[in-house]
Structure 1
């Protein structure tokens, strides 16, 4: 399909035809079968996991007991961003996530920037989950009498040299993605049940024994970067995954009613769950930050904090919550539930690799779409002749994830991931406002309610959390962006299919791998099958 003059225009004029993109949705003909209840369960399953298992210690070092407020702040920002996300997801229900939405609304340059930023969300996020899994794995092995050498149990910031378990799990997931292992809806349901059951048992065991004095002082570090709002910026990672609800808008009955119910209900339930887990952890053993000799809290993920934590344990004192790399299992073991603490480790051991898989899956699909648009080398879009998966881009992504997981701590990785995510979500909210003005008559299966209020709140919320990230995480996004712009103007712009007058719908290709989305319900046609295409 030839592009219009507007599409081939100047720097900001290369807008990918929304009609061409929507042709994909019309071909897919997705069946509307999901109600509010199914969407709520879908959201709970997608959200609960990494953050609450892994980042509780990080949040406690920043906010102390007030991390409970941090969970609420992050949840509210996520909710308003989700409502904006849903409008575009219902209009453009194809692969590519925020990258595709931005291409259709704000043009190629902004789309490239969003796609480049999504690398931080998905690939770096997958590294963070892998490091979090490693912490539980090492703790679980130790409780069973198997000691992994400290040099191989953590990266340099954690007092080790190379985080071998994190690199191994990332490598195994990469192999699975290349071979083409698919998650079924039933398997996902089992993993959701494992996570929810584990966290419910944690609350049942810890809430009855909480002590009021452990909540004092409630806000030990104030509200700044290393305080409540800074913790919210890090905890934002705990809510990423809600877009599973947004991207299911095209498969939802009465999306105008059911999508906001599913989003708000799932985020509300997850927030309450997080608050109960945080209250149980704080009340059981305390969650005060570890400080230096002058009374200043150590930065989370720093070698100074690691050294101080090691000194505390060497002195015979119990390991503080903020020092643990397996926070929830550590809490249970500290209050006498050794075996149940091990079971919490087993739950994380089972559930977290699936999160690594879905994040890497999302990353490879965005790379795939960008390569098919001509913005990345087309070799990255090649499909394995036997496995029918994008093996080249998967291998490249896997190597990057393995290296990041091997050398960086979970908190820093989560913050880097959040910087890219917050930028992408901000661009989605801006795109909703722009498209309401430039194309007000376009069919919108879901319309963001009170968009003139919700979208600006989402934009301001994303900016506020971004500037409350640690300085190095703030710096990562512009530095990463400059690298991306150099690649765009040095390579991508001249090879762009839209810029060369070609607009294609890559998802229609029989060679394309499955698109990012939720696993089909039992009995539903497989992604890309003739039945699904209709």
Structure 2
């Protein structure tokens, strides 16, 4: 169906991707959309974020964890692809759940989605600032919380300067950073693997153990605990769907881009993690972090020398800046979609003149990111602050994914029954629901509770608080602006 733009509430997110207030439409292909999803997942920086907590939790089975994460994520990615084909929208999960189930459930899903995207954004500048400190240390400048905070602010200023000028510049800048970091980190991994296998430090038995569940430190329990970070690494493919209104032929390109991002980046992680596991014993990785360092910089120093270490640190800082750019794009589009429908303050649905980007939504996200990042760094330490926000982000991600899988079934049964596909709209989302529920039960309800207060139970409590606030927000919107909560069924066949 081809629909004309409308200013009527509820018709902003149209099946063909048009919008009443007009995000700037461009000629982005599936390659461009896939690249943005891949950038947020970050082929190289995903290792910076998640390699250390995975290895510290489960030992040398990091490649196995990344492989499991792909399997866990793929059914949900296919549900995202199916819904993007039927109903492309910047609102993504919010729009789909709203259309499939109803406005109240949709607003609640949007609350969860925006919390997930905001926390995924908060993860980034804190880690980037660690590499900023590494750079300063390598040139002889004393570092600490103050210099780390400068790194956080510097990264945020760069992101704002680029993203406020439009989606085209955002994409071009991030692609350059991603390609450069991916090549450099892959070269480091290859160097480690060749050296360590050549001198007998890493054998074929060690390779096999990297994919053997029984080799995990702590057994099955540790695997499920480490899977929290494997799933966090996969966060990003979902952001492709938020570009539907800025992509040429979104019904065709967005589904392809979503699946390609998951499979291609996941394969990169499995391969490169194998080389990283070969670099150091597990305890040495833990010790590097405990001393405020980053394992990848220590690996570069060992295998490439001081110059190589500096190169890795610079590349890491720029690449994480690129992810920050892409995540700010995704999170602002989801918030913008709710703002223009009136389910969050309307000023969040305004566009910046000229560039046609959601400037208010981007500004709010950046301000909250800086404040929360600096607070977590002060409270938990600069080397550990990202673990808390990353764990909560992946918790909300799973709840979002659960909603998308349910919406895939319900939407196609309600509005496109004649085109209901048993595999894509039935079997796949049912598998996705089962997998997500199992992981929530084993990794988030079980393992996190046993992980202690700081990075376990406090996260669970924070998730519950966020959900309660979301329920309260739904009630407030229902009372304050009942007109935006009316249940309208549109012919989207």
TM-score with structure 2 setting the length? 0.79
The corresponding residue for 2:435 is 461
The correspondence for 1:414, drawn from 360, 370, 390, is: 390
* 2:136 is the counterpart of 1:141: yes
CA contact (8 A) 1:67 1:228 kept: no
**Whole-angstrom distance in 2 between the partners of 1:270 and 1:80:** 16
SS at match of 2:129: helix
Q: Distance in 1 between matches of 2:227 and 2:284?
A: 16
- Equivalent residue, structure 1, for 2:127: 132
Provide closer, same or farther for how the CA distance between residues 413 and 73 of structure 1 changes in structure 2, counting only shifts above 3 A. Answer: same
**Structure 1, 212-221 or 166-175: larger mean CA deviation:** 212-221
Corresponding residue SS for 1:21: coil
Partner of 2:3: none
Cα distance change of structure 1 residues 356 and 453 upon mapping to structure 2, 3 Å threshold: same
Determine the structure 2 residue equivalent to 1:313: none
Matches within 5 A, 1:41-440: 44-47=38-41, 48-148=43-143, 150-152=144-146, 163-174=149-160, 176-178=162-164, 182-183=168-169, 185-210=171-196, 211-212=201-202, 215=206, 218-224=215-221, 227-243=222-238, 251=248, 255=252, 263-288=258-283, 319-320=287-288, 325-384=293-352, 389-408=357-376, 409-440=385-416
Residues 492 and 406 of structure 1: CA distance in aligned 2, closer, same or farther (over 3 Å): farther
Q: CA deviation at 1:22?
A: 2.6
Deviation string 1:480-521 (CA, Å, 9 cap, x unpaired) is: 0101221221245431543369999xxxxxxxxxxxxxxxxx
Residues 110, 34 of structure 1: CA spacing in aligned structure 2 closer, same or farther, 3 A cutoff? same
Q: Which runs of 5+ in 2 are unaligned?
A: 1-8, 377-384, 449-456
Q: 1:323 to 1:207 in 2, by over 3 A?
A: farther
Q: How many residues align?
A: 446
CA root-mean-square deviation: 3.6
Distance 1:244 1:174 in 2: 19
C-alpha displacement at 1:203, in angstroms? 1.9
Instruction: Check 1:143–1:266 CA distance in 2 against 1; reply closer, same or farther (3 A cut).
Output: same
Pick which of 411-420 and 115-124 moved more.
Answer: 115-124
Question: Would the alpha carbon gap of residues 372 and 198 (structure 1) be closer, same or farther in structure 2, given more than 3 Å must change?
Answer: same
**Do the aligned partners of 1:82 and 1:246 also contact (CA within 8 Å) in 2?**
no
Native 8 Å contact 2:88 2:251 kept in 1? no
The correspondence of residues 439-518 of structure 1 with structure 2, limited to 5 A, is: 439-441=415-417, 449-467=423-441, 468-469=443-444, 470=448, 471-491=457-477, 493-499=479-485
CA distance in 1 between counterparts of 2:79 and 2:54 reads: 27
More helix by share: 2
Per-residue CA shift, 1:255-289, capped at 9, x if unaligned? 4xx87776555433322321222221211112248
User: Which piece of structure 1 moves more, 56-65 or 451-460?
Assistant: 451-460
Q: 1:282 to 1:247 in 2, by over 3 A?
A: same
Contact 1:368 1:393 in 2 (8 A): yes
| Cα distance change, pair 382–202 in 1 and its aligned pair in 2 (3 A) | same
Mark the CA change 1:350 to 1:23 in structure 2 (over 3 Å): closer, same or farther. Answer: closer
Q: Deviations over 1:42-96 (max 9, x none)?
A: 6544532442222211111111111221111111122111100011111111211
Distance in 2, matches of 1:165 and 1:391, equals 23
Partner of 1:301: none
Query: How many angstroms apart in 2 are the aligned matches of 1:352 and 1:182?
Result: 19
Partners of 2:57 and 2:226 within 8 A in 1 = yes
Q: State the 1:207 CA deviation.
A: 0.7
Report deviation, 1:175: 5.3
1:22 maps to what in 2?
Answer: 15
Give, in angstroms, the shift of residue 241 of structure 1. Answer: 2.0
Matched-pair contact (CA < 8 Å) for 2:89–2:243: no
Shift of 1:247: 6.1
Distance 1:493 1:433 in 2: 30
Q: Is the 8 A contact 2:73 2:234 kept in 1?
A: yes
The change in CA–CA distance for 1:271 and 1:118 in structure 2 (over 3 A counts) is: same
Distance 1:165 1:452, change over 3 A: same
**Which one is further off, 365-374 or 24-33?**
24-33
- TM (norm. structure 1) is 0.73
Q: Deviations over 1:181-231 (max 9, x none)?
A: 75255434322321221122122211113323895893112222xx11221
C-alpha displacement at 1:405, in angstroms?
1.3
